[in-house]
Amino acid sequence: MTEPSPKVAHSARLLNHLLGGTDNHPVDRAAAEQMLRHLPGLVTWARSNRRFLGRAVRYLTGTAGVTQFLDIGAGLPTADNTHQVAPDATVLYADNDPQVVALARKLLTGTATYIEADLRDPDHILRAAAATLDLSAPVAVMLIGVVDFIVDDRAAAAAVRDLMAGLPSGSYLVLTHPTLEVAPEAVVRAMEWWNASGSAPICARAPSEVAGFFRGLDLLDPGVVTVTRWRPDGNDTTSVPEYAGVARKA
């Protein structure tokens, strides 16, 4: 990494560390250690979320026949990213941090591309995506652990709604979000520490609130469940504090 070592941890680099990557800084590793003191299952949580991404993408490219993905808040390429699970698909990543985007472009292999864009501005995302994706054909939107960074409920709901409104029938929404359904006290402590650290704040939402992001879409079975229990393929189904769902736009 060539940029100066930062003083504040970043969620993309912290996740990179939790997933076994090396593109992170001492401040990110220190933050991970602090959060692990509050939430010892954090590594399992992160990796379970990544395994869910793999299962969802394999379903979409296989059964659903999706060939285009818009992965927002993607962070840094680490392992088992969308473009690696779906090597024959067109994959466009978006992140709102220019340093993350610059580094990700250097690290990325294959035909996937990155744009700098913020989920809070879905119109800009759709305009920028049109240069890479065919927005007249179905697109799978991946919102993996990113909506929790929009802590205002109305703004979060509007961002997801407006994004899906700009895509054609047959498109899909794949979304994961932290909840307090599992180890609530530990999750609250970890989030309080993170939010007090100067990093971008995050929030947890109830499963019913997570389900609200799919309003107006056809939610696939088994509905909104902990990520480990969405169509498990033999992996550990122990619940983690992250819920997920996949839905289709009719």
pLDDT reading at 193 higher than 70 = yes
For residue 25, being part of any structural domain is answered with yes
For residue 30, being part of any structural domain is answered with yes
For residue 213, being part of any structural domain is answered with yes
Q: Phi/psi at 77 (nearest 5 deg)?
A: -60, 130
**pLDDT, the chain, mean:** 89
pLDDT at 4: 45
Distance between CA atoms of residues 130 and 142, nearest Å: 16
pLDDT reading at 5 higher than 60 = no
For residue 4, being part of any structural domain is answered with no
Mean pLDDT value of segment 68-75: 91
Q: How many domains, the chain?
A: 1
CATH number at residue 162: 3.40.50.150
For residue 34, being part of any structural domain is answered with yes
For residue 95, being part of any structural domain is answered with yes
Quick: pLDDT tens for 129-182: 999 999 999 999 999 999 999 999 999 999 999 999 999 999 999 999 999 999
Please check whether residue 160 is in contact with residue 146, taking contact to mean a CB–CB distance below 8 angstroms.
no
For residue 2, being part of any structural domain is answered with no
Q: Which residues of 222-231 are buried (b: 16+ CB within 10 A; e: fewer)?
A: ebbbbbbbbe
Query: In this predicted structure, which of 80-94, 164-178, 232-246 has the lowest mean pLDDT?
Result: 232-246
Distance between CA atoms of residues 174 and 125, nearest Å: 17
**Residue 237: band (very low, low, confident or very high) from pLDDT cuts 50, 70, 90:** confident
CA dihedral of 11, 15, 235, 72, whole degrees rounded to 10: 60
For residue 225, being part of any structural domain is answered with yes
Range of the domain at 174: 11-248
